[in-house]
Amino acid sequence: MGKKLFFIYLNLIYRQLEEGFKVPVYDRYNVVLQIFQQHAQSQVAKLQVALAEIPYLRSRLHGLALGDLDRGGGGVGAIGGSGETLLETRRRLLEIREGKLKNALESLKRHRQVTRMSRIREQVPTVAVVGYTNAALIWPILIVTGKTSLIKALTGEKSLEPKDHLFATLDVTMHSGLLPSRLTTLFVDTVGFIADIPLALIQAFAATLEDALMADVIVHVRDMSHPDAKNQERTVLDTLTKSLSAERKKLDGMITIGNKIDCLGPNELEEMKSTASQNGLFLTSCINRTGLEEVREEIEKRLMEVKELAVLHFSIPAGGEEARWLYKYCTVTEEFLNPEDSQKTCLKVIISKASLGRFHKAFPLLHPIL
Ligand SMILES: Nc1nc2c(ncn2[C@@H]2O[C@H](COP(=O)(O)OP(=O)(O)OP(=O)(O)O)[C@@H](O)[C@H]2O)c(=O)[nH]1
Ligand SMILES: [Mg+2]
């Protein structure tokens, strides 16, 4: 059956169901779209949702054509003297709208988010948090993946609000946190993934997500208490590789969190704990705040590798040029007076390979101490 004919019959079925049950009938795409519409807050998210609606409206046009035919063919007749049918006009208007939305989105992104993200990435290590969405509204089973909750637990940011809503987070947002060595890191919260979402819906969000996935490290949060945890994992990995073409290297270095372990029974928890390290899983409960320190340490370890950062100690003249330089270009995590030389101060510093090279050039006689 041709695509056009398929949509015509599909729309006919919707209409008959609506007339029969006297309630509106929505498919999965439309339900998700409506939830997106309710949750979109930023202008970027609103434009992305409006763009995602276009393919849906386009598919409904075929049904419209049939409906108009039912009513005597007025819908497919020519408008005025233009020779253009009503269906063609609507299709053309949708195309114009699609073009306008794409342009608006492009210019908004060029000026804001994408450039902001790449600029920030150069200065501060970034961690993107991804995972299945929290789908409490659609299914009778509660799915609480906990991306936002994990970021809240790691950063202590009070303004973050984890919610029992499907797609509670639609905007990519950034939150600053400190890792064990006091390295400042930005955690990027992202829209959740869900199985069987038509590609068009993902594509509307792809640019923002792909930008988020350029982060130095990706953290995948899983809801271990969910009976369908395995399929959810596959959906997330498929979305990352197939729809968002995330870099292989990033995926190989991805940190996987098994969240919500407080909801597991004692036997299940024991079994999971015994296999966690061999499965590369970090078990957490954001509610009970367990396992978070290990996650922080692992994130820091990966970031140090990816960003080629090292922890070094320097003994330098107190209040001197060297100290000012290190404070400006590196992360100084500790400072104390040198007990053997009161004229000097000891600094513990997280420094990149590139910055160390520049430091040596600026102060050739100064070397880190052991
Ligand atoms: N019991 C339990 N509940 C949790 C845990 N982590 C998160 N939750 C709850 O799960 C719900 C959803 O959490 P969120 O952090 O908003 O989930 P999300 O992955 O960001 O969801 P979306 O933004 O919709 O994709 C909230 O009610 C949280 O309180 C956990 O470790 N244990
Ligand atoms: Mg969220």
State the distance from the centre of ligand 1 to the C-alpha of 166, rounded, in angstroms: 10
pLDDT at 140: 31
pTM value is 0.75
Atom of ligand 1 nearest to the CA of 169: 23
Strand pairing class (126-131; 217-223): parallel
**Cβ–ligand 1 contact at 259 (below 6 Å):** yes
Q: What's the CA gap between 301 and 323, in Å, rounded?
A: 25
State the distance from the centre of ligand 2 to the C-alpha of 155, rounded, in angstroms: 14
Q: Which residues are annotated as a binding site?
A: 131-148, 167-171, 189-192, 259-262
Atom of ligand 1 nearest to the CA of 131: 19
Q: Rounded to whole angstroms, what are the CA distances from 68 to 61, 86, 103, 121?
A: 10, 9, 32, 53
DSSP 32-51: HHHHHHHH--SHHHHHHHHH
**Cβ–ligand 1 contact at 243 (below 6 Å):** no
pLDDT at 286: 94
Which ligand has the shortest distance to the CA of 232? Answer: 1
- Among 113, 121, 133, smallest CA distance to 42 is for 113
- Which residues does 92 contact at the CB level (< 8 Å), separation at least 6? 84
State the distance from the centre of ligand 1 to the C-alpha of 264, rounded, in angstroms: 15
**Cβ–ligand 1 contact at 164 (below 6 Å):** yes
If you ran DSSP here, which 8-state letter would residue 339 be given? T
Strand pairing class (309-317; 344-352): antiparallel
**Cβ–ligand 1 contact at 147 (below 6 Å):** yes
**Cβ–ligand 1 contact at 287 (below 6 Å):** yes
Cβ(216)–Cβ(126) below 8 Å: yes
pLDDT at 136: 41
Cβ(11)–Cβ(66) below 8 Å: yes
Alpha helices, DSSP H only, in the chain?
Answer: 3-21, 28-39, 43-70, 86-111, 113-123, 147-155, 199-212, 229-238, 248-252, 266-276, 292-306, 321-329, 353-362
Q: What's the CA gap between 7 and 59, in Å, rounded?
A: 6
Q: From the first residue on, what is the mean pLDDT of each consecutive set of 10 residues in the chain (370 residues)?
A: 73 85 82 78 81 84 56 47 73 92 81 59 83 53 65 85 62 83 87 68 69 87 88 84 81 93 94 91 95 96 92 90 91 88 90 91 86
With a threshold of 0.90, tell me whether the complex ipTM lies above it. yes
**Cβ–ligand 1 contact at 168 (below 6 Å):** yes
pLDDT at 193: 74
Burial 63-100 (b: 16+ CB within 10 A, else e): bbbbebeeeeeebeeeeeeeeebbbeebeeebeeebee
Residue whose Cα lies nearest atom 30 of ligand 1: it is: 260
pLDDT at 226: 86
**Cβ–ligand 1 contact at 145 (below 6 Å):** yes
**Could you list which residues have their CB under 5 Å from ion ligand 2?**
147-148, 168-169
pLDDT at 143: 37
pLDDT at 260: 94
State the distance from the centre of ligand 2 to the C-alpha of 168, rounded, in angstroms: 5
Q: What's the CA gap between 266 and 302, in Å, rounded?
A: 31
State the distance from the centre of ligand 2 to the C-alpha of 131, rounded, in angstroms: 9
Q: What's the CA gap between 317 and 270, in Å, rounded?
A: 53
**CA 14, 17, 22, 23 torsion-angle sign:** negative
Cβ(90)–Cβ(180) below 8 Å: no
Residue type, 65: A
